[in-house]
Structure 1
Amino acid sequence: MTPINPTASFNILFTSDLHGAIRPIHYNTNAYRPAGLALLASLIRQERERSPELLLVDNGDLLQGSPLASYAALKVTENNVHPFISVLNELGYDAAVMGNHEFNYGQDLLRRAVDASNFPWLSANIVSEELEGDNGIEAWTDLPPGAGLPAFGPPYLIKTLSSGVKIALLGATTHYIPNWEHPKNIEGLQFLDAMETIRTWVSHIREHEKPDVLVVSYHGGFESDLETGEAAERLTGENQAYAICRDIEGIDVLLTGHQHRQLTAEIHGVTVIQPGFSGHGAGHVTVQLEESSGGKWQITDKKAQLLLLDEPSEVEPDATVMKLTDELEAEAQAWLDQSIGEVAGDLSITNATALRLKAHPFIDFVHQVQMEATGAQLSNTAMLSEEARGFGNRITVRDVLSNFIYPNTLTVLELRGQDIREALEQTARYFEVNASGKVAVNPAYMEPKPQHYNYDMWAGMEYELDISQPVGSRVVKLEREGKPMDMNDTYSVVMNSYRAAGGGDYAMYPGKKVLHEGATDMAALVEDYIRRHQPLTVEQTDNWKVIGDSTIQQKN
């Protein structure tokens, strides 16, 4: 009788892009929402009961993205632990990976979060400019050539199960962060190419650690179609997951995020998974192994699945997680309900698509805030969330944070008329004329991740975009004060810091002269403006419109 070789299995559970979604609530309305870490925590505990030897990972973008996260950022000091970290500590996370939004509140808050964590933060490609300092990994003296010293913790961890199975977990983050983040928030850091850093460390880990399973947790997404391998976006390096699977040997499982997609697949022998965003689901990977006669464990099967919270959800929120955030929630709710002013007129948003077709009072209000704060001649802005509803008659802090969801600051650039025309042509790519002859959103802005926030609207000039014209020739009117804008004249233009750094493929902005860099985030500027202008009035300018389809219902 042939002896049966010993077998083993283990599960990986991971969250990604939680964006401050801890409790099952929609803060715009305070309605129940079947999402958030408190609900996922119940699933995590169930899985831990079934499989005590669990690898539990957060894949980044934890600390920013909800009103609760905004309030938590105000409360964190040297003497208290970030409440989200308390939750991850309670749930026994093995590791977390840096997301790009982890830097939004600055390195002081981030380092306090890292220091308070009972687990390491892994990001092999975010390195210190200096090869010294207290980052908890001074013992890493044998770095691979060109790897750099990770700035926040070890590049990887090793976990050995009771069966003897050895797991290596390597962390990495999209290196595109300097194209989005305010320079002061990433001072002293270098962002190495994520793919090349993963390649370097995978080789090093395979050679020196000899793990049975090598898992990479990458806060980044897929640049190519998962089935065909054809490019699905402009190849900037922001997302490299497909190439990582295709070109790097030695990876068994790749945990991904950043794009807010829900997917599982097998790509060039690598099991990949991405669990969505805001706690709507978690990723689950089962790995089965068999021990050979030589004592080496071999993977015999891998399976990825999404654990999604259906609506209505039968899962109850974890009582301990709720209790850990009860005090924060109560304080945040009182803060959010503060009345800061009233509106004379209508600044509500009822149709996000129509808002992007012609000048709208709420967008005109945003321009007023930006131009008053900086004195710029021109202004551009985007609608940041499809859930934004503008303002009703009474404005609260909740209303402000619901419309201005990112802690972006303002930057004023000196631009030529030609730069402005190129920026408008880039913005016009957001639309296309579909098969029915109607203006519609370009599918490239919907897949693989919705990017409505990359469509800008301008003030201080008059313009028209004709979507029936070829891409690159859609600006059919560009005037200032009733006269054609001179392509060689220069203008001061205010925009958010993300856009000024070139975010959204606005390649005409990086390298331009910076006339002003604000230190106050937009939500705070808006709140201050409202308090000082009571009752709030906005004069609609009707300075721009989109044409190309006469059948469009252009309702505000």
Structure 2
Amino acid sequence: MTKTNETCELLILETSDIHGNVFPINYGNNHETNSGFAKIATLIKEETKNRENILLIDNGDVIQGTPLTYHYAKFLSDKKNPMISILNHLEYDAAVMGNHEFNYGMELLRASVEECNFPWLSANIVNEATNEPAFGTPYFIKEFPNGLRVAVLGVTTHYIPNWENPSHIKGLTFVDTYETLKKWVQYLKENENYDLLVVSYHGGFERDLTTGEPTESLTSENQGYQICKEIEGIDVLLTGHQHRTIATTLHDIAIVQPSFNGQALGKVVLQFKFLNGKWQVINKATELVEVTDDTGVQEDVLALAAEFEEKTQNWLDQPIGEIKGDMKIVDAFNVRLKDHSLIEFINKVQMDAAGVDISNTALFHNGSPGLPERVTMRDIVSNYIYPNTLKVIRISGQDIKDALEKCATYFTLNDKKEITVNPSFMDPKPQHYNYDMWEGIEYVLNISNPVGARVEKLLRNGEPLNLTAQYDVVMNNYRAGGGGDFEMFKDKPVIKEIQTDMTEILADYFLKRKTVEASCNHNWKVIS
């Protein structure tokens, strides 16, 4: 029996946004990185050594994100999911649904959930028909041998319908995260007996944690600050989604967010004293345990994915075509200032697949190397890193102009009146994928002009674009749904959906033609 004034300690470890990274490599070049589940497993082993009370939680976006998981989903999904095998092997207590869990479709997701030895938590993702949680349970309570009872409640950003392919989330409702948490925290207070409440939220913070100033447009995608400020009774908030490194407290709530791709482990240590017949928290400490050059790999974790990795590497090295000319990227920033052969190529492929003559795409990340003379699948996935599909939506000329004005907010001028990236696209999370470049129109963005008046020229076939006319435009499914706050695209008529992943479409384009000629018609530029 626990005695008054006895003490104990609880260790909470969190992974989040692992994004399918098992091996510590960059798939673009196979160079070693300080990331991945095999190294995170080493940190987990070191941190849990000689500990009695341990809670291990994955906070979402675990089954998608690398060529390994893509190749598994496309070609080997009849086998057990290697990411789930690793979670089971490491004896996770629970996982929370992330937005990218849905990327490979509901059939694969449900099969993956069935393989788990632990519950998936997401109180605010419910079945449309029954209004009941769609995956497992909203929460669970873990009781330790000394009687310490910890409740863990899981929620997910409800913004998923703005990004995801509708067929992947059919029959689901995504309820407001904040409102759901308020309801379930109150339910737990009234109906359960526990000593600590942990909320694992696949979402982040909409305000600066120190000043409270907004750090993004208040779309409700991230509600962590409001949750901490307004919902009483939460002791620990595990976060993710934004790929940030956070270890702090806010309104006496311990908060961690452990970066992404398995670069760090979120750690919360709580000390308790048994007082008045209950374990009570007397201290909270937060920390991020980072993967370093000295962090070894756990061979047993690598072994669980070895078969899939070998087949993935063989697939990546398949030659698929050649390029006549230059599609390599030297400077990602310059690619976004004026038309580039790689961007023109991707837009041309999209237009070819969709049968339309206006398209937009983004350069998704600054590490994009472009395409070499001899192209393999590895080169494709190094540049096109998301499992996007395509949609053709019917929009007005005014919508196109509004979208270009939105894109122009990616830039600002520094003290020397030089064009630079707007800090809001860099912090708290890089959002280079929210700047599009267009083909099928001609335009100039002048960053010296005020925001909202930067489209200085906008032509179609050499004539001013008719702002009242309707145009069919192809873009990725994320953007077509309004993702990235492109509100002008939301709820527009969908003329065509192309359900093939863009990586496949790009590869097929090469396979059919064998040789592709690099071209650049210089139809747009950014000036100051």
Instruction: State how far apart, in whole Å, the 2-side matches of 1:318 and 1:53 are.
Output: 23
Question: Does structure 2 conserve the Cα–Cα contact (< 8 Å) formed by 1:7 and 1:289?
Answer: yes
- Per the alignment, residue 93 of structure 2 pairs with 94
Are positions 1:422 and 2:402 aligned together? Answer: yes
Are positions 1:209 and 2:192 aligned together? Answer: yes
Q: What amino acid maps onto 1:393 in structure 2? A: E
Are positions 1:265 and 2:265 aligned together? Answer: no
Instruction: State how far apart, in whole Å, the 2-side matches of 1:198 and 1:150 are.
Output: 13
Instruction: State how far apart, in whole Å, the 2-side matches of 1:346 and 1:531 are.
Output: 19
Identity of aligned residues (%): 50
How far 1:149 sits from its partner (Å)? 1.1
- Per the alignment, residue 193 of structure 1 pairs with 176
CA displacement 1:5-42 (0-9 Å, x = unmatched) = 10111100010000111111111110111111100101
- Per the alignment, residue 45 of structure 1 pairs with 45
TM-score (structure 1 length as normaliser)? 0.93
How far 1:62 sits from its partner (Å)? 0.6
Alignment partner of 1:224 out of 197, 207, 210: 207
CA displacement 1:34-60 (0-9 Å, x = unmatched) = 111100101111222231431000000
Query: What SS does structure 1 have at the residue aligned with 2:489?
Result: coil
Instruction: State how far apart, in whole Å, the 2-side matches of 1:52 and 1:514 are.
Output: 55
How far 1:229 sits from its partner (Å)? 1.0
Query: What SS does structure 2 have at the residue aligned with 1:450?
Result: coil
Are positions 1:34 and 2:34 aligned together? Answer: yes
How far 1:4 sits from its partner (Å)? 6.9
Are positions 1:124 and 2:107 aligned together? Answer: no
- Per the alignment, residue 136 of structure 1 pairs with none
- Per the alignment, residue 74 of structure 2 pairs with 74
How far 1:75 sits from its partner (Å)? 4.0
How far 1:264 sits from its partner (Å)? 1.2
Are positions 1:529 and 2:509 aligned together? Answer: yes
- Per the alignment, residue 301 of structure 1 pairs with 283
Question: Does structure 1 conserve the Cα–Cα contact (< 8 Å) formed by 2:9 and 2:53?
Answer: no
Are positions 1:280 and 2:279 aligned together? Answer: no
- Per the alignment, residue 249 of structure 1 pairs with 232
How far 1:538 sits from its partner (Å)? 2.8
Instruction: State how far apart, in whole Å, the 2-side matches of 1:290 and 1:197 are.
Output: 31
Residues paired across the two proteins, number: 526
How far 1:76 sits from its partner (Å)? 4.2
Question: 1:114 and 1:76, CA in 2 relative to 1: closer, same or farther beyond 3 A?
Answer: farther
Question: Does structure 2 conserve the Cα–Cα contact (< 8 Å) formed by 1:121 and 1:153?
Answer: yes
Instruction: State how far apart, in whole Å, the 2-side matches of 1:154 and 1:490 are.
Output: 46
CA displacement 1:320-362 (0-9 Å, x = unmatched) = 1011111111111111100101111101111100000000000
Alignment partner of 1:178 out of 161, 179, 190: 161
Q: What amino acid maps onto 1:453 in structure 2? A: Y
Computed over aligned residues only, the root mean square deviation of the Cα atoms, in angstroms, reads 1.0
Are positions 1:238 and 2:237 aligned together? Answer: no
How far 1:390 sits from its partner (Å)? 1.1
CA displacement 1:165-184 (0-9 Å, x = unmatched) = 10000000000000000100
Question: Does structure 1 conserve the Cα–Cα contact (< 8 Å) formed by 2:323 and 2:516?
Answer: yes
Alignment partner of 2:132 out of 149, 154, 157: 149
Q: What amino acid maps onto 2:205 in structure 1? A: F
Are positions 1:502 and 2:482 aligned together? Answer: yes
Q: What amino acid maps onto 2:290 in structure 1? A: L
Question: Does structure 2 conserve the Cα–Cα contact (< 8 Å) formed by 1:213 and 1:252?
Answer: yes
- Aligned pairs for 1:330-349 within 5 A: 330-349=310-329
Alignment partner of 2:459 out of 469, 476, 479: 479
Instruction: State how far apart, in whole Å, the 1-side matches of 2:110 and 2:76 are.
Output: 11
Instruction: State how far apart, in whole Å, the 2-side matches of 1:375 and 1:457 are.
Output: 19
Q: What amino acid maps onto 1:358 in structure 2? A: K
CA displacement 1:442-490 (0-9 Å, x = unmatched) = 0111111110110000000110000000000000000011111111111
- Per the alignment, residue 6 of structure 1 pairs with 6
How far 1:73 sits from its partner (Å)? 1.2
Question: Does structure 2 conserve the Cα–Cα contact (< 8 Å) formed by 1:221 and 1:256?
Answer: yes
Query: What SS does structure 1 have at the residue aligned with 2:112?
Result: helix
Instruction: State how far apart, in whole Å, the 1-side matches of 2:447 and 2:77 are.
Output: 50
- Per the alignment, residue 432 of structure 2 pairs with 452
Q: Which runs of 4+ in 1 moved over 6 A?
A: none
Query: What SS does structure 2 have at the residue aligned with 1:151?
Result: coil
CA displacement 1:303-325 (0-9 Å, x = unmatched) = 11000012xx2121001101111
Query: What SS does structure 2 have at the residue aligned with 1:50?
Result: coil
- Per the alignment, residue 554 of structure 1 pairs with none
Instruction: State how far apart, in whole Å, the 2-side matches of 1:130 and 1:289 are.
Output: 43
Question: Does structure 2 conserve the Cα–Cα contact (< 8 Å) formed by 1:67 and 1:402?
Answer: no
Q: What amino acid maps onto 1:482 in structure 2? A: G
TM-score (structure 2 length as normaliser)? 0.98
Are positions 1:384 and 2:364 aligned together? Answer: yes
Query: What SS does structure 2 have at the residue aligned with 1:536?
Result: strand
Query: What SS does structure 1 have at the residue aligned with 2:429?
Result: coil
Instruction: State how far apart, in whole Å, the 1-side matches of 2:416 and 2:193 are.
Output: 58
How far 1:375 sits from its partner (Å)? 1.2
- Structure 2 unaligned residues grouped into runs of 5+: none
Instruction: State how far apart, in whole Å, the 2-side matches of 1:337 and 1:18 are.
Output: 24
Query: What SS does structure 2 have at the residue aligned with 1:233?
Result: coil
Instruction: State how far apart, in whole Å, the 1-side matches of 2:349 and 2:237 are.
Output: 43
Q: What amino acid maps onto 2:95 in structure 1? A: A
Q: What amino acid maps onto 1:59 in structure 2? A: N
Alignment partner of 2:351 out of 371, 389, 393: 371
Instruction: State how far apart, in whole Å, the 1-side matches of 2:77 and 2:18 are.
Output: 22
Instruction: State how far apart, in whole Å, the 1-side matches of 2:56 and 2:113 are.
Output: 17
Q: What amino acid maps onto 1:270 in structure 2? A: I
How far 1:159 sits from its partner (Å)? 0.3
How far 1:435 sits from its partner (Å)? 1.2
How far 1:395 sits from its partner (Å)? 0.6
Question: Does structure 2 conserve the Cα–Cα contact (< 8 Å) formed by 1:377 and 1:491?
Answer: no
- Per the alignment, residue 158 of structure 1 pairs with 141
CA displacement 1:153-206 (0-9 Å, x = unmatched) = 100011011111100000000000000001000000000001110111111112
Question: Does structure 2 conserve the Cα–Cα contact (< 8 Å) formed by 1:76 and 1:109?
Answer: no
Query: What SS does structure 1 have at the residue aligned with 2:309?
Result: helix
Query: What SS does structure 2 have at the residue aligned with 1:60?
Result: coil
Question: Does structure 2 conserve the Cα–Cα contact (< 8 Å) formed by 1:57 and 1:95?
Answer: yes
- Per the alignment, residue 512 of structure 1 pairs with 492
Q: What amino acid maps onto 1:278 in structure 2? A: N
Q: What amino acid maps onto 1:272 in structure 2? A: I
- Per the alignment, residue 442 of structure 1 pairs with 422
